[in-house]
Amino acid sequence: MLIAVPKEIFPDEHRVALIPSSIAALTKAGLEVMVESGAGAGCFHDDQAYEKAGAKIAPNADALYQTADIVLKVRPPEPGEAAKLRDGTTLICLMDAFSRLDLMEQLAAKKISGFGLEFVPRITRAQSMDVLSSMAAIAGYRAVIEAAGLLPKYFPMLMTSAGTIVPSKVFVIGAGVAGLMAIATAKRLGAMVEAYDTRPAVKEQVESVGAKFIEFDLETADAEDKGGYAKAQSDEFYKKQQEQMKAKVATVDVVITTAAIPGKKAPVLITDDMLQSMHPGSVIIDLAAERGGNTEGVEAGKVVVKHGITIVGYTDYPSRSSVHASQLFAKNITTFLLNMVKEGVFAIDLQDDIVKGSLLVHDGQVIHEMIKPLMAKQGE
């Protein structure tokens, strides 16, 4: 069974699915590993390191795909990459399935078994496979570092002979993994940190990492789904939320937004009217920019200035910490793969909750319960 790791071709993507130190666990399980030449360059792992760890090196992507039984990637394959996959092989990566229905159709046509790592269920047994949490933690950390670099103020309080500098105020919207890491990082840098989430249950977590939990006068009894994610709310809910949010953002220096709903456009939380109420020079880091953004006027992948407010829409924070991002990703994906390997044999067990929850395409069909309706709607 040959495991293949191609070089990521998505622009500015520097991560790799496996690093040299992750090869041993796979070869010990009876699997062979082949890595495309240069695949680890973006995170400073050269071909010699992979060879020393027991992997073979393929000169190019074509040579890799022609022999692979299982392909491990970070990003979903581009159409040209998917076309190179041999029929009946297995693909494991972040699929971005909700916006890549074309890829789902392409994989089904080639009878490829496609696993989306973002669909790994949040159960105790799958914690070591949770790529979303690993990458979100990096994004939360990098968001604060980016904000600190752009804000024309210090984060911490300083007492000097020239006077006292008051600490900057940071407001984090959304207390998932990214939000909690952002809170902890901003606190370590000396900022005064407040946080808000539609889920009252996270108040204790917010306070445990050093922030004050802000509560708005909203009905939040149905704010969380069974997987622990925030649920989409009504237009009326978001309108009331925006009204109360305006008063808060007008008092802070940095806003970090992390609100995203799986499979849906990100809710707009910061309107143009709210931007005008903020202090000139303030910074917004919108971690939901790739899904439309939480901030009116944000542009994915860019930094824009509106009404004197700097709005950052970068979508590649994990890639900007490629060494540790690749290390964590490799551990997640290796554990995920080995869950399906017994005595050197790879087998897809649909009775396994982890397998069932993350298998999107199998045996020529799109089978995931969240993706099938979208495919059917697209075909109408």
Q: In angstroms, what CA-CA distances link 298 with 37, 153, 265?
A: 37, 22, 13
Picking from 301, 320, 339, the residue at the C-terminal end of a domain is 320
Q: Spot the catalytic one: 22, 50, 113, 130.
A: 130
Q: Is residue 127 part of a domain?
A: no
The letter for the amino acid at 316 is D
Give pLDDT, residue 233.
Answer: 67
> Both 301 and 326 in a single domain?
no
Q: Which two tokens stand for residue 264?
A: 């849906």
Give catalytic status of residue 244 as yes or no: no
> Both 296 and 188 in a single domain?
yes
Give pLDDT, residue 230.
Answer: 58
> Both 278 and 153 in a single domain?
yes
Q: In angstroms, what CA-CA distances link 204 with 133, 212, 245, 315, 324?
A: 19, 10, 21, 29, 28
Q: Is residue 56 part of a domain?
A: yes
Q: Which two tokens stand for residue 151?
A: 């804000």
Expressed as residue numbers, the domain containing 211 is 137-320
Beta bridge partners of residue 362, listed in sequence order:
365
Q: Is residue 125 part of a domain?
A: no
> Both 281 and 342 in a single domain?
no
Give pLDDT, residue 159.
Answer: 96
The answer to whether residue 228 scores a pLDDT higher than 70 is no
> Both 316 and 332 in a single domain?
no
> Both 54 and 159 in a single domain?
no
Half-sphere exposure of 339 (CA within 13 A, CB side): 23
Give catalytic status of residue 127 as yes or no: yes
Q: 199 pLDDT band (50/70/90 cuts)?
A: confident
Q: Is residue 145 part of a domain?
A: yes
The answer to whether residue 379 scores a pLDDT higher than 80 is no
Rounded Cα distance between 180 and 174, Å, is 8
> Both 187 and 111 in a single domain?
no
Rounded Cα distance between 21 and 43, Å, is 13
Rounded Cα distance between 273 and 311, Å, is 14
Alpha-carbon 162 to chain mean position: 43
Give pLDDT, residue 68.
Answer: 96
Please tell me the total count of domains within the chain.
2
Digit-coded pLDDT (tens) for 250-293: 999 999 999 988 888 999 999 999 999 999 999 999 999 999 99
3-state secondary structure 250-299: CCCCEEEECCCCCCCCCCCCECHHHHHHCCCCCEEEECCHHHCCCECCCC
Give catalytic status of residue 130 as yes or no: yes
CATH number for position 346 = 3.40.50.720
Give pLDDT, residue 220.
Answer: 61
> Both 109 and 175 in a single domain?
no
Q: Spot the catalytic one: 48, 66, 99, 127.
A: 127
Rounded Cα distance between 371 and 5, Å, is 26
> Both 314 and 330 in a single domain?
no
Alpha-carbon 268 to chain mean position: 19
**Mean pLDDT rounded to a whole number for the chain:** 94
> Both 61 and 181 in a single domain?
no
Q: Spot the catalytic one: 69, 75, 86, 133.
A: 133
Residue with the two structure tokens 């790799």: 16
Rounded Cα distance between 197 and 216, Å, is 9
Q: Is residue 228 part of a domain?
A: yes
Picking from 280, 300, 320, the residue at the C-terminal end of a domain is 320
Q: Is residue 338 part of a domain?
A: yes
Q: Is residue 157 part of a domain?
A: yes
The answer to whether residue 114 scores a pLDDT higher than 60 is yes
Give pLDDT, residue 221.
Answer: 56
Task: Tell me which of 15-19, 232-236, 298-302 is least confident.
Answer: 232-236
The answer to whether residue 197 scores a pLDDT higher than 70 is yes
Q: Is residue 377 part of a domain?
A: no
> Both 148 and 63 in a single domain?
no
Q: 235 pLDDT band (50/70/90 cuts)?
A: confident
Percent over 90 (pLDDT), the chain: 86
Digit-coded pLDDT (tens) for 305-352: 999 999 999 999 999 999 999 999 999 999 999 999 998 899 999 999
β-pairing verdict for 212-214 and 309-312: unpaired
Q: Spot the catalytic one: 37, 69, 154, 229.
A: 229
> Both 72 and 24 in a single domain?
yes
Three-class SS state of 218: coil
Q: Spot the catalytic one: 122, 188, 242, 352.
A: 122
The answer to whether residue 225 scores a pLDDT higher than 90 is no
Give catalytic status of residue 229 as yes or no: yes
β-pairing verdict for 32-36 and 90-93: unpaired
Rounded Cα distance between 137 and 176, Å, is 9
More confident residue, 60 or 226: 60
